[in-house]
Each structure stands twice: as C-alpha cells, then as structure tokens.
Structure 1
Amino acid sequence: MSAAVSHFPLGSSKLEDEIRTVAQTKRVRVSEFFKDFDRLRSGFITASQFKRCLDQNLGIQLTPQDEVMLLDKYDLKREGMVNYRLFTDAIDQAFDPNFMTPTPQALTHTPVEFLGTQRSLRPLSPGSLQRVRDILERMQPFYKYHGINLRTSYEDFDRHHKGVVTESQFYRSFPGPPDITDEEKYLLACRYADPDRPGLCNYLNLHHDLEQIAEDLRDPGISPPSDPLPTYGWWPAEPPADPVIRELFEKIRKAVYKNGIRTIEFFRDHDKLRSGIITENQFVCGLALAVGKEANLARTEIQKLADYYKTDDGRVRYREFCDLMENAYNVPDLEKKPTVDPIRPPRGALTRSLNPLTPEEEDRVQQVLEEMRETARKRRLMMYPYFKDYDRGIAYTRNVTKSQFGRILHFLSLNINPPDFKLLCRKFEEPISGDVNYPAFVQAVDKEFTGFTVDKETPKPMVSPEPDVPSLPISTGHVNLGEVISRIRHHAVVNRIRVAEFFQDFDPLRSGSITKPIFRRGLCLMGFPDLPNDQFAALAEHYTDPKQPDKVVWTRFHDEIESAFTQKGLEKTPTHAVPSTEVFQMAKPGTIHWDTQAPEDWKSVVDAAMHRMREKAAQRRLLSKPVFQDFDRHNYGYVTLSQFRQCLTYLSLDATEEEAAAIEAKFSDKTGFNYLRFLAELQPTPAQELMYQRRLKELTLVNQQKQLPEMNAASNLAGVMFKIKDKVAKERTRVLEWMRDYDKLRTGRMKKKNFRRALDLCKFELKPSEVIILEREFQSPVDPDFVEYLRFSDEVESIFTIKELEKMPEVTPEQFKPPVEWQLNVLSEENEAMVKSTMERIAEKVKKHRMQLFPPFEDFDRVNNGTVSRSQFKRVLTELELGSLVNHREYVSLFQKFMVRVGGREDVNYIAFCEMVYAIAGFEWRKP
C-alpha cells in the first residue's frame, strides 16, 4: 500500500483536487460510503459500485475520460476491481504519513479556494492584479492594528455560511480602511465575483487572501514583547517621593478596592502588541473611564499620574500602574508566599467621609444636629426606616436625593429653615452623585443607631526569620489528652464511622500495631482534622506499643473509640446498661462554656443586649432567619463575624462594639458564628407537641366504636340470590372464574375467608349479614369451615341454562330476566291512586301542548344512565310549567314510584316517567 501511494503521489491529478474540494465542502469522509459494498473489508469494490458511490453520495458525475483515468490509476489487479482504500487515502489524508521529509508543509494538499468556490472568470490585466495586491497590502495592516476580522463583518448577511454575499452587501459592510476609494472597491468586487452565481461576491476568498498576505509579511525573527516582571509589594521598587502622587495612589486604590474595578481592561484594547506602553491620550482616557468618577479625579490629577509613568518617547507605562492597582490591599502571587501577611484596611476605613466645612458652618451644623437629636430623643423617633423606604433603587445605595431628604424631615416634623437645610445637605452630600448620605445623618442624630464604625489601624506584624537551630523535642505536658480522645470519639459518633476500617488494611499480619506515621494517616482518612504536633505526640505516646516503641497499638485505640457505640464483651454481661451515644457528643472546638468560663460582666452585657433585641424583634415582628440564610449558601448554620454584624445592621438590631463582641464570644466557635443558636435565644419558638401519640388515641377510640347499621340488606336467601342473579345477568359475570383460583386441587370446596374474598372480587357489594346467609346455606357438610362454591356457582349460572342439559332433551330452560328496578317499587293503594291522577293531569297538559319531555331531563343526565336527582326532577317539571300541577305529597309519591338506587343514592328514573306520560297521553311510541 505504501509503495502504491509513493508511485502515485497525492494531488497528482486535478480531478482528485476537485473531488477533495467537494468532500471538504460537504464535510464528509469518503471512506464511509465505500465500506458498505466491501463486506469482507478487502479494500476492493467493482467499478460500477465505485461510480455509484461518487454519483449518489458526493454528487460527482465523471466523464468517460475521467472514468478511464481513475480506473487505470486504482485498478491495480486489472480485474475490474477498484482499490477504493487507496483512493480514499488520497482524498481524506492531508499528506502521506509514510513519506518523511524535512518540509512536510510542502506535501499538504488543501483546496486553493474555500469550499469549492472559484475566482471570477472575468480576466483582469496584470496591472489590475498588481493593483489588487497593493490594495490588500494596505488593508492588512489596518485590520491588524484595529483588530478587524473581515469574515465576521459579513457573516450577519451570510445566514447559511456559504461564503458569499450580494454585491450591495459587499459594499455596505466593507470595513475599510477609509482611504479605499469607490473605484478600488469596485475592482475588489470584480476580482472576487462568483462566476456561477452572478451578483454575488465571495468574501471568504478575500479573507483568506488577507490572511495569506499577513503570513507572507510576518517576520519570524521578531518575537512579541514579554510582560514586565511583576512587582512584589504595594509600591514599586522606589516609592514616589511626591506626597501628592502617594495621596492620588491611595485614593485610586480605595476606589478600585471598593468597586472591584479591573483597571487593565480599560487599557489593553489600546495595546495591540501587549507591550505595556500606550500613548498619553489613551492613558488619560482609559484612567478617566476606569476610576475617574469613582475616585473623583480631576484632569490635573490624571495628568500628574501620566507624567509619573511617562517614558522618554512621550508614551505611558500603563502596565506598571495596573499591576499596582490590581494588587490593592493584596500581594501578588500570594499562593506562592503563604507566610506573607498582606495589609488589609481596617473595618470602616473605606467608608464615605463627611464633607469639610468652614468653622462657622461646622458650629451651625452641630447646633442644628443637637436640636434634632434632642427632638428625636424626646419623641423616640426611629428615623432610619423612613429613609430606607426611599432607597429602593437597583442596589442598596444608602443615598437619597435632596428633595427626598427634605420630604422625610418634613414628615418627621423636623422642620428647619432653608439655610440650615442647605448646610446639612452640603455636610452629608456625596461628592459624585450629589445625593445625601442618610445613614451618616441618622447616626449623627440618633445615638442608638450605628451605621458604620471605624477601627483603629493595627500595625503590620514584623516576621523575623527563624534561626537555623536543630529541632527540639515536642513538649506534651500541657496537652489535655482526655479532651483529644473525646473529640475523636465525638467525630466517630456524629459521622457513624467504623474505626477499624481505616487501620486494619495497614496491619496485614493482624498484629495490632502500626507505625506512628501510618497511625496519623489513618486519623486523616477518618476525616478528623489534622492534629497539632504536640497533641498527636501525646496521643501516640498514650497508645505506644511497649514491645516496639516506634509503633502504636491501634486496636486499643479502636476499642476506646468504639466504646461510644457498644461495650466489648457485652454478650457476657447482658444486664450491663450501655450509655447513650448522646453522652459522647461534644460542642464544636472553640465554643465557650458560657455558664462556667464566661466573666460575669460579659454575661450581664449579653443579657441586656439580648433582652433589648428580643423586645425590638417582637415589637416589629422581624423575620430574622432569612436574612442570615442569604449569607449561608450551604445551609450549615454558620456565618462569618462580619456577616453577623451586617445582618444586625440590616435588621436594625443596634449593638455597641462591646455588646457585639460579647455576643460573638457566646455563639462563635472555630467554624464561625452559629446563628441558629443565636436565633433560638433571640426568637425562641415554642416546642411542638408530638401528634403521634394523640393520633394513636384517636384511632383507638374510632376503632372501638360499633359498626354502622346495614342499609337495605336482604333478610333471606331468596333475596340475596335474587340480588346476585340480577347483578350477574346485567354484567355477565362468571362467578366460577373468580373462585376456582382458591381451589388448587379442584375439590369443589374453599375456605369461608376465601369465599368472602372471591365475592368481593366479583363486586356483588353484599352486606356482612348477606354473606353469612350464603355461607350458612352452602356450608360443606364434611367440614364446617369450608363452603361448596361449585354448588353456589351452579345456582347462579342457572339463570342462563340448566346444568347437564344434554341429559334432559325434553326440558326447555327459561332464561332469567332481571326485572326493571323501578317496577319493584310497591306503593299503597292510596299512593297508587294519587300517582295515577297526577300522571293523568300531567299527560293532559303534555298532550295539549305537544311537549318534549326527554331533552330537559337529558341536559342533567351527564352520564346517560337514565336517572336524575330529585331536585333536578322537580326543577325540570317547574321549567316545563308542570310543577304547578303537582303538590308536595304528589311529588313524594312520584319519587317513590320511579325511585332507583345509583351508587347508594336514591334517584328518579325519568325515562320510565316520560314513557308513562306519553302512554297515558296516547302518543305513538317514541313520537310525542
């Protein structure tokens, strides 16, 4: 095969290039179509099959000359069999993998044009071709500099991705450059016009030509500039000496940190080569767009920063500035420097400060605030909710407009004169938006409200390098070994862990001892947090093997931990009381035993704060838990300490710094702040009563009640059998089919409980007393606990025929006909006469007016069973103006006459009523 490929190199025939182009156009693999004809996978098919595949699957119709050429090339055996495998390798493979060469790109075979498109057949002069080449060379640097992709410019018009657009669309979306004249655009349109589809231009060929020019112009000797080395620290190698520059950096750093701004995103679009340098105007525009509004930068301040980073040629090193801003209050590559302590801003340092005023204006503002503070204290005003109702924008801005600020003050009856109002607005005004910072105003007036606090800055700890000294032995005297073991036992109890599974695989000889590193690894596999070195040393020393000091007796450790579940050798002492597993559970690490360890002053502070918060929450009916759950995304009952204070601020549960710290100490541990415990004490819920015991008592009382009396039950065997025969005749039920499954040996008998079960399956709806009558009648004389169901079945089947009728040829069987239900109703002579006279009155009016009685009744008969309820029967007669002919007693008699039972309810058979009326009126059958 390899010799054949080398004898006919790929791409040697123009016909193969055309077939390859068609295959790439349709996105198909040619080999898949020939395999269906080659069941033995020999690699050969007949010439007719070869031509059929090309014609049907690829749509290629070969000329006689092309057929001869392909068959001569791939008919290697000269037996009329074509080697399709060699042909598909030539078409599908980009190059021959068996032919090694230093320049493999020269052996690749790709279509010259895109997906079978062609150049325009209109010939262009050499001068025009050179002019097109010059135009493309002008276009390519422009596109590269501006990041323009010509292909995406036309894809909106090319919905089917065929690579062509109309000539008008070609002119309309031409992306430039702007110095291209209309004549040059026309020349390009002529060059890339599609010959098969007049009026269309092939923009993909133009795109690929531009890509080829870019490839030709690219100089492999020039490499893109590398990024500058990162700076490790907040300032560059030498901090700026100018205090104004340092102040600008600090202001921009706060704005970047608070708003989460990625400053490099505003500059990198101007730096196409990623050199880290842009022009001065680009730097000024990018910085103003990035943090100009957030940091309230003036034009002169931005120019100072541009001058600070300016190079000798007048450009600006923006990358150094962005690296400085990206690491605001952070250290770059912090994951590689775990011992570095980054400087974080203290809590409240980034809050919005108040605007400075003149000394006279400051005195007047303090005087106005003091008057408002006294009014709010006397009237006990809660001012913050009134301002917060107006803060309903897209986000929680903590700002209101000046008109809203004045409206709220007027609503709270805190009226001041216009000059004082303007002073307050200037004092609490935001420098960017011009709105009023209402939390700062409320905090200045209301002493009980705390909008924000500012902590004192803590100096960065100085880390001195550790001296190179030999390792000292670990001291274990201060370790509470009992607490460590109890903590491990608690972990095993809570997570239901079998300790032996994590150690026995490391002890294949079952000696009961393992090494100390393996013992520590087993503790980690249990999911227990890694112990400090001193605690692990104390634990390993406690379970040290006396025969091998470097090993640990893990079986003894296992027995002590497993004692939380059961006691060893319990089968020998069955009366021993095993303690409950809840005894071994412990609080999480870091939890303070409040009753014994907390100072008395902390207890009084927490009690007073919780009492005040509890009363406020009860008065305002706060739903506190959803506020904490918004921060607890994993629903494990913990939030951070800062999130806890945020929740208190959101719920307006004010607490001083001392109260908040004491509450955090009571409800916090190493995991975080346990807000579930806090809410259980803040808003305790009453214990729910267990309803299971009460429900059991109710069910017992219900089951003790006597059974309800039976309604309409037959009192003798004839009535029961008539009820069963009537049901069987109407529904054509075969009783024997439901009963023989309980008689596997075909004895003709079955137990009474199975007999009752079979009657229920037949859906006879018999009452218990009726079933007892049947059991007593068909009871087996041999065994009183059995019933002769065959005799019962024969009795029921006698409604259709007589058993063994072939032995009695002279007997004529009479088939059972179920009577009409309403005809079984028996009335007294007085009621019968009343019904007769009523029917005659109704029939007389019906005959006189030729009334149709059936349609009004059928409107109420949705299931078409021929019955309606009593109220519906009475309503129809009223609508037909026949209700005035019948009084109440006559209605009752009519109900008794035509009553039928449907699903346990007594309805009226309106069909029998209507037919009797028509019969009395003398109407022809079914023709009133």
Structure 2
Amino acid sequence: MHYKQMKLSDIWRTCNKIRAAIFRIGLNLWDYFLPLDPKKNRLISESQFISVLSGQLKGKIGLSEPEISDLADYFRVQDGRIFYAQLCEVIHNSVPDFMKNQPLVSGLEWEDPMQVNRLSMSEERKLNLLLSKIATVVNIRRLIAKNHGVVTIAHFARVLDFLQILVSPVDFNLLVKKYLKDSYTVNYIAFLAELDKIVQYFYEHGALDLGGDLVAQFPGRVIHAELPKLPRPEIGKILASSLFGKKNVFHPALKDNYQAENLITIMSRIQQHVLQNRLRVNEFFRDFDPLRCGKITTSQFHRGLDNLGISGIQRMFLSLPEIETMITQYRDPTDPTRVCWQTFEDDVDHVFTVKNLERTPELEVNPPSQEVRDLQRKGTKDWHQVNIPRRELCEEAVDKIKKRVLKRGLLLKPFFRDYDKSNNGHVTIPNARQCLVANGILMSDEELYALEERYNCDMGFNYFRFLKEIEPKPEEVPLYQGLYARTKAVNAPPPAKPPTRAEQDIVQILVKIKSKVVQERIRVSQFLSDFDKCNEQVIKREDFKRGLSNCRFELTENELETLMDVFASPMRRQCIDYRRFSDVVEESFTQPCLERAPLIVPLQHIPTKDCDKNFLNFDERRAVAVALQKLSKKPDLQMNLLNVLQDYDKTNCGTITTEQFLKSLHKRGMADLISTNEFQVICKCFGFERGMRNEVDYRSFIKALDVLYATDKYTPI
C-alpha cells in the first residue's frame, strides 16, 4: 500500500482554516469536545473526533475528508486516541491579545499645524506650479485672520480674490483638496509655510528682485537676438484690381496649421466622412480599451483619429491643432491624461441615429443633420459670404464660358482629365488655366481669381463641379416612357360606372346572395371570421371585400358599396359588422332565437333562377301562355316527353341545350304545334345560364305543362 507523506505545512494550513472560521463565526472548540470527555483526561476516540469535525462543524468550518484524516493522524497518541486538547490550545491560545500592546497612533498627528493631505503625482506637479505663481504675491500673511490655524473655505476664497489671484475652479479645488481639514476648513498655516519655502528658494537662486517680483529675463540664460525681416518679393507683384484686393499667396486650407477650425465644423467633417464611408467609430478605439471603461490616453485617441481618417475610399486629414481641439473637448474631467472616447463615439453616431431611441418611440429621426448635408469641402469658401462684386464677376465669367462652349461645341472634360491622373475630379490651378487657354477661352486675372475662389478646395480646382455648371446636359426623354404610359393605361382599372337602381336595392342583393348560399351550401361566417383576429365582431372594408370574393357571389362594385353602407358598424363607419351580415344571410336556412318560440316552423328560402335574361314583357308573356296551352293538350303520360329530355341530360343537371330541346319536341311531334317565335320565347322563359352558354330548364318546362294540363282537364266546356 502507498501511504501519503504528511507535511507540516498542510497541517498548519488546515489549522489556519479552522482559526479563520472560528474568528468569523465565533465558535469555541472546547464546547464540542468536552462533553465527549467525561473523565477529563483530554483524550477522545478517533470516531468521536471525526464525528465532531465532519458532522457538527462541517457546514461551519468546511473541512474535507483528507484534511480531517491528516488532523487525526497528527494529534493521535500511541493508544489510537486523539489528543483534542492540544488542537484546541493551538487554535484558541495562538490569538494575539491586542489589549497588551501600546497604541501606535495617539491622535495627536491630526493636531499637527503643518498636516496636509496627500495627492497623486500629477496633482502634486500641478499644485507646485500653482504655488510658484501664487508665491510672487507679497503680504498675504497679514490678510488672513489669525485664529487656530484654519479658516473657512469661503474666507479663503475671499482672500485670494482680494489679492487679485485669479484661480480657476479646477485650481481652487486642488488647493482645497491639499489643505482641507475637518471637511470644511482650510489649513492656511501649512499653505503659508509652503509659500515661504518657495519664496526662499526664489531668493536663493536669484529669481526675485529687491521688490519681490520675478526677474524679467529669468532664468537668464536665453540670448535674445532681434533678427532683420526677410524680404517679401511677392508684395506688389500680384496683379489684382484695387476693388477686389490682392490674391492670397497661401491656400486657405493651409490656415489650419496656425488656427484650428470651429469644433462644430470639425465634428461635421468627421460625421460626413463616417457617413460616406459607412464606418463604425467603435472599431478604431475599442482595442485601446481592453477593460471597456470608456477612457483611453491622449496618444491612443490621436492614433484612433488617424486610423479613422485614412479608412474608407475617401481620405480625411486632421491637422494637429484640430486633433488637440478634439482632445480638449473630450478630455476626462477626473484625469487630464485620458480622453472619453465613448462620448466621442456617441456624438459622431448622431449622424446615423439618436442614442436610446427605444425610450422615445415617438421621436422622428431624420439623419443626417442639416449641418452635415450642407457642409462644403475643406478649403472651400462659403459663397454666400463673399462680397457682392466678386460674386457678380464670377457669374459673368461663368456665363461667358457657357456661351463660348455652346457656340463652338467645346468639350472641356478631356483636357481636364489629362491632368487628373488619379481621377478624383480635381486639378491644380495652373492646369485649370492651361485647359481654358488651350480651348481659346481668354479671361482677365480678376475673372480667373473669382473662378478659383468659387471652385477651389483643399485638393485643388474642382473641375467636376465647374463642368457641371458650364456644360449642362439636355434632358433626355427615356425610350420606355411611351410604352410605360400605354401599359399603365391598359392595366388601369375601368372607370367607375354610376350605380343602377337594381344595384342600390339591398333586397335584390340579399336575394342574390341567399340563392347562392342555398344552392352551394356556403357558410359566410367561415370566410369572414378569419379577418377578425381580436374577435371584435367587425372587420375592415377591404377584408370584407376579400372575404366575399372568396365566396364567389359575383357582386359588382356598386353592389358591394351598397352592401357595406347597409351593414357598416354604427360606431365605426370604416368597418363592417360582418356578424350581423352573417345572421341575415343565415335566415335563408333558419330563423334566429327559435328557442324562445318553439311553435314557429322555420321556412327555408327558395332560390330563384330568374335573371335579366329571363325577363319577359307583356307580349312575350302572352305568347308563352298561348304556346304552353297548345303543348299541354297532350299529357306527359301519353307523349313520354320527359324520358326523351333526360336522355340528352348526361350529367343529370336539369338543363339541356336549345338544339337538344328542339330535337326532343320533334321526336314527339310537338314542335309542329308552335311557331319559331313561340319556341324562342319558351327557350327564353325557361332559359338558364350555365358556363358560357344559355340552356333550357326542361324540368320546369315539364312541371308547367303538367300544371296546365291538370287545371285545364277540369275546366268546364
């Protein structure tokens, strides 16, 4: 068998674990082991020892089984019992008694008149510079009221203001943070002592004169030499009218090297660059912030802006003053060496949307903003702010070039493209002048200066914009315009016809619907209830039309409008009460609320097949009556006409064609009894439209003959 080698460090680690649990909970091991030792011999059995540590104290101390076995082996005596008293003494008697020690801090340190607070390294450096500037003010000690060495913060601020020591809020908070005492007073004794040390240092190194002011040439090692001015050969060499002034030697975009642009303009340029190239600002700064605290150093922010400018198809150049402006704007107020890049990201992303838009769902967002849309390219002048004579001269020059191009039919784009190797739409100013001279467009210097001032930017002369105004293309009519108009006219819905009297009669419309329902056994509510998702008993007009079209009632548009006007909801006229409409249609089968009147026998609706094509005038009805009287002289029992008609009805639908009807009458010798006009009137009277043709309802015809024969048989002569 392999035995584990016991280490003293393991036993000591287990004892520290027990000691920590006892200190945290407040247990006493003697209370658990003494009841198991009635003879007080300080020894217990191994099973009792294990039961205490693994049973009663397992949830409180949390010892594992190997740790309990190591303790039992370590404190076991020769007879196999456990010396628990030694374990309790090791655990409880090793706690230090702090009451026997002398106090290290007496509290008198806070009463020291020179006691000050500790600051960070950067704050200490800034405070030293601030105190060096304040130290030149003399007689400050006499102006502070003498008391117990402290003054209030308000009194300290009034003294500094009386001495005309202009301190910013940040610097004043730094002074208060250094010399604050009792949370509301300032230790001016330590403040004055620090100023005395600085003044003494200045006197020792010769930085102050006899009056106590700083020496003008301090530190006195820099040699100042007045250099002569350099010659300016460009003065008086540039031709320009006195009316418009002289042309600037340097490009307007180069002024950023000396003075940064407005902060809003810089942010608009960054937003425009991000919008055009569809960039995510987060991707350029998050790698510098592994802890996702939202703050990075100034150098990292500088590198992130550089990477943001060179990404995408179009490049964006930010000068050093512009970057310093951005760093100053988004500097961390608690740490001047860091920049809040997430705040910068939120401000830039406003060009796409608004942050926390889910909290204001009714807010209308129309990105990008007007400033970003109207932002001109860097180096371009705002043409509305140029003086009026210069603008008028430029408009005259543009009009002159436009007339020359249209008169001679010139193409200026190939000449400009030869100088534009990178095809970015810009050329240099000398190249633009060469293109105009090469095409015979001669202009004065004032006109050229005006054109350059209008079309110049940081990349040069924008000839794309220049040619867009000089060479306007005529508006070309698309070839498909005529075809599109004809196609649209063909597919356009037919014009609405005025409703007839029958289309406005709700009774006839309902009879038409009930006949269709009875014949084809249609349940209208099944087609309309699917559109009522919330079980409101009403649906929209469009859904009502869609449901009736599925029923195939073959209603016209005017009939649908009449139906919707009648069954419109009283409280919501734009919706239809389809439940009331379904109940009215269901009356063709039964009557509602029959449980309240059990003696009523419901009558089923009998559908009629009459239509406009079956309508007979007075003469036609008289001709039909005479013809049927002639044909009813011989009953069907003698002629057996029904069987002949049924032979032609292969599908047993009750109708046959007019040709088959005429053949049947010829077979029984009944066609000779009536004329051709009478036959056509009979076919019209018993006509039925099936599919794309008109047929004859022979069953109704036989029933009419039987009725006439039965009534005529008992008629007295």
TM-score, normalised to structure 1, is 0.26
TM-score, normalised with respect to structure 2: 0.32
